[in-house]
Amino acid sequence: MKNIEWSSLTFGYMPTDYNVRCYYRNGKWGEVEVCSDEYLKLHMAATCLHYGQEAFEGLKAYRCPDGKVRVFRVEANAERLQNTSRGIVMPEVPTELFTEMVKKVVRLNQEFIPPYESGASLYIRPLLIGTSAQVGVRPAEEYCFLIFVTPVGPYFKGGFCANPYVIVRDVDRAAPLGTGMFKVGGNYAASLRANRRAHEQGYASEFYLDAKEKKYVDECGAANFFGIKNDTYVTPKSSSILPSITNKSLMQIAEDLGMKVERRPISEDELDSFEEAGACGTAAVISPISHLDDMDTGKVYNFGEKPGPWSTKLYNTLRGIQYGTVEDKHGWTTVVIE
Ligand code: PLP
Ligand code: COI
């Protein structure tokens, strides 16, 4: 294993030894290439640079206490990238190719997979970009699919602890019939202004209401929202949020733990009734929300300064499945290194 201060890692980029790449030309995917260069040589008129033909994914590999390395829900990430590809007219990366490349890049960089005790993990970042030149607005003919990895610590300082969020009304990350349900760079570009302001004001992240009516809950920055009341896990249904794989898993785990699960529109007024609330995602895992400020109305929604009992149970079960200490009864993990 590399000599790295694993337990002081934050969620950032660190160079590793290899990335893997595959090119789409003449209507088909080529051979997988192993590369040690961190840079790409791109045509200056590539569609990814001008017209946002860019999609990415995010998943993690975990070094487990039984000595194995597991990745979480790799097929679900492949399927979401395929859906995103259909959304912005790019060729689909087949699930087998996606999975083969994930396994390869993790194995090639195994010295960078943090030890179990550190609480850190290996973040896997697949990226699909249009590479051929266009000046008119139309899809590229050629694409590059690449995957790099980087060891990461918690997305929010302190890991599993409650953080404040702030509702924004003057910025939308995605339109109701736009690209919010796809994992494309443009959504993140649209969020940067609000995200920077939230950080400057001391919040963990900005919190979006639906773009059309500003009445319903959408997302917590780069994570989905869930609220808990009366032993029920409630999460928004909206056309402009990213279908989070973590959230999907938590809905199943909640059910397995005996909770009721509801996926439906959540009005801002309803926020007052939740006993616990949190943000969830690959990077965020579960990040409980301490309070949510609505600066326009002066309203503050309080969910507790400490992670609540259901959030803690959900967090421990999810982590347990990812680290192979809780039975993986839904077949979510893939052992990459025995
Ligand atoms: N919502 C947004 C906007 C995201 O960027 C992410 C991160 O991927 C999520 C939600 C959480 O999704 P997942 O759990 O699949 O990582
Ligand atoms: C993730 O949770 O994987 C994300 O993509 C969040 C952010 C780093 C974009």
> DSSP characters for 140-164?
-S-EEEEEEEEEE--SSTTSSS-EE
* pLDDT in the model for residue 25: 98
Give the pLDDT band of residue 157 (cuts 50, 70, 90). Answer: confident
In angstroms, what is the span from residue 337 Cα to ligand 2's centroid?
Answer: 24
Residue 240 to residues 220, 227, 296, Cα–Cα distance (Å): 12, 18, 22
Residue with tokens 């402009």: 240
Interval 169-199: pLDDT, tens: 999 999 999 999 999 999 999 999 999 999 9
Interval 108-136: pLDDT, tens: 999 999 999 999 999 999 999 999 999 99
Whether the Cβ atoms of residue 326 and residue 317 lie closer than 8 Å to each other: yes
Residue 2 makes CB contacts below 8 A (sequence gap 6+) with 111, 112
Reported pTM: 0.97
* pLDDT in the model for residue 308: 97
Secondary structure of residue 176 in the 3-state scheme? coil
Interval 288-315: pLDDT, tens: 999 999 999 999 999 999 999 999 999 9
Long-range Cβ pairs for the range 41-44 (8 Å, 24+): 42/131, 43/131, 43/132, 43/133, 44/133
* pLDDT in the model for residue 170: 95
Give the pLDDT band of residue 230 (cuts 50, 70, 90). Answer: very high
Residue 217 makes CB contacts below 8 A (sequence gap 6+) with 207, 209, 210, 225, 236, 238, 265, 266, 267, 268, 271
Ligand 1 neighbours by CB, cut-off 6 Å:
58, 219, 222-224, 242, 244-247, 281-282
Residue 234 makes CB contacts below 8 A (sequence gap 6+) with 226, 227, 228, 261, 262, 263, 264, 266, 274
With 90 as the cut, is the pLDDT of residue 156 above it? no
With 90 as the cut, is the pLDDT of residue 91 above it? yes
Task: Please tell me the residue having the least CA distance from ligand 2 atom 8.
Answer: 283
Atom number, ligand 1, closest to the C-alpha of residue 221? 3
Report all structural domains of the chain as residue ranges with CATH numbers, in order of start.
Answer: 6-152 (3.30.470.10), 163-322 (3.20.10.10)
Residue in 10, 155, 187, 318 to alter for ligand 2 test, most ligand atoms within 8 A of Cβ: 155
